Amino acid sequence: MAILEVKNVGKRFGGLQALGDVNLNVAENSCHAIIGPNGAGKSTLLNCLVGKLIPDTGSVMFDGHSVLGRKPYEINQMGISRVFQTPEIFGDLTVMENMLIPCFAKRDGAFRMHAIESIKHETDIIGKAEGMLEEMKLIEKRHMTASSMSRGDKRRLEIAMCLAQEPRLLLLDEPTAGMARADTNNTIDLLKQIKEERDITIAIIEHDMHVVFSLADRITVLAQGTPLVEDTPDKIKGHPKVREAYLGETQDAA
């Protein structure tokens, strides 16, 4: 059963056909990786899924409902959370406040005018946020200003914020880009753990083959805006077309 169905999606920027005719099904509770060389249209595809871009053609269905024409926050409230390439967190706020915000968003929806109540009295929400920080090993840093943390911690906080919303689908945009090997491995372990412990579907865009092959159940290879192959990691590894179009470049990149 596919939770995310992308049908015939196309997107053009002026003279550039960024996405040709993309068809993609992400099965529920799987981890689906989308790989491809630079400029293959991975980020464009992702932006079409979360409402940042509206595709020119085709349809995107999430859990049987179309996401097209909806605003990013509406799509998020449907159950799609996104992790950015550079961690997007509330830098001026404390780690704990960063964690509280998605918890409120989950409970109260896109807007609620709770202007007189004190946060202190929201014991359920505080408990949930602390639990999440505990799980992510960030609890000791809860009074820190988020922007002062290391990049690895910021990444973990961002993932924790997304998980606090209990999304059905977690989208990750190159989550290990620019990370040292040790941080990358930590992130892989974290994602593995999330996959095992939670009822969640993960879609990941990634350059690093090590990350892709350690996590993915299925892989779609995108080249020049169209899917080239879609298969299990084992079969992708040996696929001649993939080697030709893509793997040669990643070996250089790695």
Which residue, 93 or 144, has its beta carbon nearer to another protein? Answer: 93
Taking the complex as a whole, how short is the minimal distance between the CB of residue 140 and another protein, in angstroms?
8
Which residue, 73 or 244, has its beta carbon nearer to another protein? Answer: 73
Taking the complex as a whole, how short is the minimal distance between the CB of residue 164 and another protein, in angstroms?
9
Which residue, 49 or 211, has its beta carbon nearer to another protein? Answer: 49
Taking the complex as a whole, how short is the minimal distance between the CB of residue 103 and another protein, in angstroms?
10
Which residue, 109 or 248, has its beta carbon nearer to another protein? Answer: 109
Taking the complex as a whole, how short is the minimal distance between the CB of residue 80 and another protein, in angstroms?
9
The whole-angstrom separation of Cα 254 and Cα 252 is 5
For the four alpha carbons of 79, 221, 194 and 127, in that order, the dihedral sign comes to: negative
Taking the complex as a whole, how short is the minimal distance between the CB of residue 22 and another protein, in angstroms?
22
Taking the complex as a whole, how short is the minimal distance between the CB of residue 157 and another protein, in angstroms?
11
Chain residues binding another protein by CB under 8 A are 50, 71-73, 76-77, 81-82, 84, 88-93, 97, 100-102, 104-106, 108-120, 122, 140, 161, 165
The whole-angstrom separation of Cα 87 and Cα 103 is 18
Cross-strand partners of 66: 61
Taking the complex as a whole, how short is the minimal distance between the CB of residue 155 and another protein, in angstroms?
13
The whole-angstrom separation of Cα 132 and Cα 135 is 5
